[in-house]
Structure formats: structure tokens, C-alpha cells
Amino acid sequence: MNKLVLALFLATGAAALANAEPSAPGSTGIGIKNYPWQAVAGEKSEALERKGNRKRGEVLYALCRSCHQPSAGGHSDGSVPQLAGQHSSVLIKQMADIRAGLRDSPTMYPFAAVLSDPQDLADLAAYLEGLCIPVDHGRYDAQDAVQQVAKGRALYENECRVCHGANGEGSRYRLYPVIAGQHYKYLLQQMTDIRDGKRRNANPEMVRIISKYNDDQLIAISAYQASLVMPGKMCKAKAPARKP
């Protein structure tokens, strides 16, 4: 597997990576071992290098469907995130970080802990990545919605787009998550937690950028992010077939 030499990532910032998307060699093509903030080791490293089996991942998803819904669309109130269409690398990192205690999630931990090995992580992540992103999701809903979305767009275009993309598509190679289709309240909560130091596994560059935003600005950015639509990925989700 090709490896990226990114020792200067934090010094140069994410903008320097805009035109440096790696190829996808090997089983997963996720060449991220040298990203300083990842601290990739153990099962996380193994899972990122393995090829996921989507059929096996669908069976494993039985652990998750009661909360995340059969479509993996989560809940519009933001209490449970949308997982469908998320980059497998992002899903693997978050599951592994929860299992390792690097991300605090008391609700999620008992379920993540049941997964037995790195292959389970790779399989489940591959299944979820292949699902369509539900069109219907929680959005900012208030009288000033139009104004907030417009304000949020200006802020997003200034500093968020370079990592998360014009349509909220993120990057599976750099572990920047898909935010298109994500619930407004979940986005707002996560950005607030990152700003306030409650997401211990957050990208330091993200922490640096978001630290200067006040609550009103985070509301506007979240409102705009929740309005994004990813070409070719958004669709009316069909519930996956139940496995015996």
C-alpha cells in the first residue's frame, strides 16, 4: 500500500492538501497511517487495511439498526446520526476510537464493544458506506432559516469547504466525513463539542478553525451543512432485507 508523507500536515493546514488526493491502491486504498492526529495503531490500523465484506457487514448491522434505523438514517432530532453513505475510513476510526476510549459515547460503547475484531469493523463500515444517503433528514427549521443558511454558506465557503467539499462529500482518504444528509442538530452538537474540547479524537486542524466561532455562527454553519445535497449519493432509502 502506498503511504503518504504528511509530516507537515498541521503546519501547512488542510488547504495545502486540496490537490493531493491519493490513489486507491491495495485492498481499501486508505493510505492514512502518517496523519499525525490519527494515532493509527492496533485494530484501527488493521481494519483500515482490510477489504470489507458488505454482506457480512449487513448481518453485523443488526446490532445497530434499532437505534440507527434500517436505512441507517438515524433520527431527525439529532440524537442518533445518519451513517448511510459515510466513508468507511471515518466509520472505522470512530468505532475504533469509541472502543479504545478515545471518543466518549456511553450509549454507543456497549454495541461497539460487541464487535470482535478488525474485520468486523471493516465489514460493517463497508456495508454502511455502500448505502444511499437518505434525502429526508433533520434540517434547521425556524423563521430565519433562509437567513441562517445564507450566513452559514458564507462561513462554510470561507473555511469548511476545503476539507468537507463543495457538496459536503468529505474525503475517505483524509478521514474528512460526509456531512451532506446529516441531521442539523447532530451537526450542531458535534461542532459545539469539538469547539468546547469534548470530542477528544477530533482533528486538531478542525479544533483550531472552529475554536473562534460563537454559538450563533455554529448554528448558521450547521443550518447550511444540513441543506447540502451530494450528487449521485442522495436517494430515497430502501430498508435492507432482514437476515434470519
Nearest-angstrom CA–CA distance, 200 and 123? 25
Tell me what the mean pLDDT of segment 143-169 comes to. Answer: 97
What is the mean predicted confidence (pLDDT) over 236-244?
A: 57
- Helix 118-129 and helix 88-100, axial crossing angle in degrees, nearest 10: 140
CA atoms within 13 A on the CB side of 137: 37
Q: Which residues, including other chains, have CB under 8 Å from residue 162's CB and lie 6 or more apart?
A: 14, 15, 18
Which grid cell is 113? 464493544
For the record, the C-alpha cell of 229 comes out as 445535497
Please list the alpha-helical segments (H only) found in the chain.
9-12, 42-49, 54-60, 65-68, 88-100, 109-114, 118-129, 145-155, 161-164, 184-195, 204-210, 215-227
Give the residue extent of every domain in the chain: 145-233
What's the pLDDT at 42? 82
Going by C-alpha positions, the residue among 243, 240, 205, 214 that lies closest to residue 84 is 240
The single residue listed with the C-alpha cell 484501527 is 44
The answer to whether 226 touches 183, Cβ cutoff 8 Å, is: yes
pLDDT for res 34:
45
**Residues 156-171, mean pLDDT to the nearest whole number:** 97
Band of the pLDDT at 243, cuts 50, 70, 90?
low
CB 209 within 8 A of CB 217: no
23 pLDDT above the threshold of 70: no
pLDDT at residue 17, rounded to an integer: 31
Residues 93-146: tens digit of each pLDDT? 999 999 999 999 999 999 999 999 999 999 999 999 999 999 999 999 999 999
Give me the chain's average pLDDT, please: 85
CB of 179 closer than 8 Å to CB of 168: yes
Percent of the chain with pLDDT over 90: 75
Instruction: Find, among 76, 50, 56, the residue nearest to 135 by Cα.
Output: 76
For 55-76, write each residue's pLDDT tens digit. Answer: 999 999 999 999 999 999 999 9
Q: How far apart are CA 27 and CA 52, in angstroms?
A: 9
Longest dimension (CA), the chain: 51
* Annotation: CATH topology of 145-233: Cytochrome Bc1 Complex; Chain D, domain 2 (1.10.760)
